[in-house]
Chain A
Amino acid sequence: MNWKILNKFGPFLALLFVYVFFALLDAKITTFTALETMLLQTVIVGISAIGMTLVIIAGGIDLAAGSIIALGSVVVALLLESFQFSPLVAALGGIGAGALCGIFNGLLITRLRLVPFIVTLGSLLIVRGVAKGLSGSIPINVGHTPLSNLLAALPADQKWQLLPSGAWLMIILAALIAGMLRYTKLGRHIFAVGSNEQTARLCGVAVERVKLFVYTAAGAFSGISGLMLMSYQEQGDPTGAIGLELDVIAAVVIGGGSLNGGEGSILGSIIGAVIMTVIRTGCQLNGWPPWVTQIVTGLVIVLAVLVDQLRHRQTA
């Protein structure tokens, strides 16, 4: 019973603990500007983490997320700059490129029955290479476009929107996918595939189709994160988001996702991403050097996995 509560509210309690800890050290972290800044710094990892949660629940992993984010940013910037497309078309193009990478991963994993870890390790390099090739290996500057406002603090006359549109997008997408996981057949099938693939297959779940869906979705969400990176940097950056997949995976794990599959929650993953931002911002506000941030974040990840393990032992 105790563990059930800890599982359900674990990530939230952890966030509360971390936030109160830093708020006691420095009240600046409680200002509206600080909250807005932290939320904006969470969006890139957060949106990609939505897709990663689906993959991890289905018992897989997507190591290409960081590369897909970089490719997404490059494609959006290219469509805007070199082809003069409208911002909306460019944005959709970036998301589409991400989805294509996801389909590529999904097809290799389902049709050729290759291990997700190896396939996505390969596409991590392939996609990074494509991003560098497309951009001629240099960042593509786009300057200020309507897309820049996705991740910019709201100007005074637009405060009625409460949050910048990028943050709203993350919240809406998270709510939609969380609802999909909970209330639709597809959602339950994703859990079934991750819990026990054989049983799911025997029960008539189209395992391959479910897997193809989760990898495609993960690619598309990383594509959206790429759009966000482009908006944040006002630049398509082929060398951006290096190693970011580890942050994304960490967010999912802190949020209660299990790398054994069958467990994870969208809300948890978003909270996991927020926890990492709060730690980084909190440390930087106090003028602590980055090695402190790294140790603290690492400890939180280990703690999250430890709680996960203990709970499994309890229920076993």
Chain B
Amino acid sequence: MRIFSLLLIAVFFLFAGFSCSKDNGESDKLTISVIPKGTTQEFWKSIHAGAVKASQELDVNILWVGPEKEDDRQQQITLINNQIIGQVDGIVLAPLDDMAIRRPVKSAVDKNIPVVIVDSGLKDSEDVYTSFIATDNFEGGKIAGRQLGEMLEGNGKVILLRYNEGSASTDKREAGFMEAIAEFSGIEVVSDEQYAGVTKATAQQASENLILRFRDEQGTLGFDGIFCPNESSTYGMLQALQRNRLEGQVKFVGFDASPALIEGLEKGEIHGLVVQNPFNMGYLGVKTMVAHLNGQPVEKRIDTGVHFITQENMTQPDMQELIKPDLDKWLKEN
């Protein structure tokens, strides 16, 4: 009986000790909020996975909070304000809008919560945020233009199917593409005024109508190359080409990767994809924030780089890691 109660007391203290040390640990650990633009796309999941990896390496807590509805600026502003109220140590943010999100970021920084911007820029705020970590979208577009031009050996007609009005990152890719393609004097851009719209179905409709517009009565296509600046527009175009049994017949360069696009690349229906490194964005976002909080100097602008993936180089291990990242490894444990 006595032994039993002694045991009980011992166990009690053991637990108390555990919970105490845990409490202390929790309050010592830095807490960093990571706020994406949305939560549903593969792209954001990769950022999440990268952030989790950094948090485990550096032993910090991360809070992953994204807008329920994508493209909801109001909700993202509310989320940022909530983090200020919650007194987190720092915020890693992918702003939905380069203007509308400026004020909440400023008020966070004013309350001594530093902000690292990832993925998309914030206008005229270099003195406000700590660091900007993103793909150089203009450069990504230029790579696409240069590669497509070389595939066509500098001759032919190409189509640019834009993504959506008012999307800063894809605007830059489109501008980069137009600049690079203009250097090939033998290449003519026959259409650059059409937009895919936000869903894949609208992208597919716009693509079908482009094919309809440029195909003559004998069935020959009036264009030789296509560029689409994001995942949904590339997917819509791929579907439209397949449905018209034209897959593989024109040089087709897309942007971003998803299982369906990788399959298209394997089958030779897509000739190249410009891919970003969202995992690295999330990883470096958290890492840079922790370095800053620890008083180390950080770089103001970090380029996470783009790669051009083709059928030939897609089997290389470093490319495989980009197009088929092992997200479950990082996201399951949470």
Interface residues of A (CB under 8 A from B): 28, 31, 33-34, 37, 41, 44, 132, 137-139, 141, 152-153, 229, 232-235, 237-242, 280-281, 284-285, 287-291
Contact = CB atoms under 8 A, between A and B. Distances in A.
* 4 interchain residue pairs of minimum CB distance: A284-B209, A137-B40, A289-B193, A285-B213
A234 B199 contact: no
B193 A232 contact: no
27 contacts: A41-B205, A41-B208, A138-B41, A138-B42, A139-B200, A139-B260, A141-B259, A141-B260, A141-B263, A152-B243, A153-B243, A153-B244, A232-B201, A232-B239, A233-B200, A233-B204, A235-B235, A238-B40, A239-B199, A280-B205, A280-B209, A287-B191, A287-B193, A287-B213, A289-B193, A289-B194, A290-B195
Given A233-B200, A233-B201, A234-B239, A288 B193 contact: yes
Contact of A242 (B39, B199, B235): B199
Contacts of B104: none
Contacts of B58: none
A34 B200 CA distance: 20
Nearest to B193: A289
A137 B235 CA distance: 17
Given A139-B258, A242-B199, 9 more contacts: A37-B209, A41-B205, A139-B200, A141-B263, A153-B243, A232-B239, A240-B199, A284-B209, A284-B213
B70 interface: yes
B197 A290 contact: yes
B210 interface: yes
A153 B244 CA distance: 8
Interface in B258-280: 258-260, 263
Nearest to B211: A37
Interface residues of B, number: 34
Contacts of B204: 232-233
A239 B200 CA distance: 9
Interface of B: 39-42, 45, 70, 165, 191, 193-195, 197-201, 204-206, 208-210, 212-213, 215, 217, 235, 239, 243-244, 258-260, 263
Contact of A138 (B40, B199, B217): B40
B201 to A, nearest CB: 6
A152 B206 CA distance: 16
Contacts, number: 80
Contact of B40 (A44, A229, A239): A239
**Which of A31, A233, A241, A291: most chain B Cβ within 10 A?**
A233
Given A28-B213, A138-B42, A280-B205, A235 B260 contact: yes
Given A28-B212, A137-B39, A284-B213, A241 B194 contact: no
B194 A287 contact: yes
Contacts of A288: 193
Contacts of B244: 153
A284 B210 CA distance: 7
Contacts of A31: 217
Nearest to B236: A233
B219 to A, nearest CB: 9
Nearest to A153: B243
A254 B267 CA distance: 44
Nearest to A152: B243
B22 to A, nearest CB: 31
Nearest to B191: A287
Nearest to B244: A153
A126 to B, nearest CB: 12
Contacts of A241: 199, 201
A288 B206 CA distance: 12
Given A138-B41, A288-B193, A281 B198 contact: no
Contacts of B70: 239
A181 B266 CA distance: 51
Nearest to A41: B205
Residue from B42, B70, B210, B260 with most neighbouring chain A CB atoms (10 Å): B260
Nearest to B200: A233
Given A281-B212, A284-B209, A285-B213, A237 B193 contact: no
A58 B215 CA distance: 45
A235 B200 CA distance: 10
B212 A33 contact: yes
B212 A34 contact: yes
Nearest to A141: B260
Nearest to B164: A290
A137 B210 CA distance: 30
Contacts of B39: 137
A281 B212 CA distance: 9
B87 to A, nearest CB: 29
A238 B41 CA distance: 10
Nearest to B259: A141
Contacts of B195: 289-290
A41 B205 CA distance: 7
Contacts of A233: 200-201, 204, 235, 239
Interface centre among A44, A229, A289, A290 (most CB of B within 10 A): A290
A290 B39 CA distance: 28
Contacts of A238: 40
B200 to A, nearest CB: 5
B240 to A, nearest CB: 10
A29 to B, nearest CB: 8
A241 B198 CA distance: 9
Residue with the highest number of chain A CB atoms closer than 10 Å, among B199, B201, B206, B258: B201
A240 B45 CA distance: 19
